[in-house]
Amino acid sequence: QVKKRCDQKLLIRMKTKCVPCSLNLDTQCPAGYIKITNGTGTPDCRYYLEIKTHTLSFPGCRHRCVKEFEQPECCQGHWGPDCMGK
């Protein structure tokens, strides 16, 4: 049995929006993503508040999320939607 399909597993990473750390406990990742940080997340960003004519910057937190994605691919010597060989 010759293997025709050699699908590639890809990990897609993303971060949630930067918010005050105290509000980040309940932040969820988008549908299909898994949260890989705990608690208030990672304190590695800044968020901004506009007050009249000024914009203030504060340290904040965000969560890291990952999604596993399988990219269909044919093995070497095979091609097309059905990975046909020679």
In sequence order, what DSSP letters do the residues of 20-78 get, joined into one string?
-GGG-TT--PPTT-EE-S-TT-EEEEEEEEEETTEEEEEEEEE-EEEEEEEEP-BPTT-
| In contact, 85 and 78? CB cutoff 8 Å | yes
pLDDT, one tens digit per residue, over 35-69 is 999 999 999 999 999 999 999 999 999 999 999 99
Give the pLDDT confidence of 3-40 residue by residue, as tens digits.
889 999 999 999 999 999 999 999 999 999 999 999 99
Q: Is the Cβ–Cβ distance between 65 and 36 less than 8 Å? A: yes
Give CA–CA dist 10/66, Å, rounded.
10
- Where in the chain are the domains? 16-73
DSSP 8: E
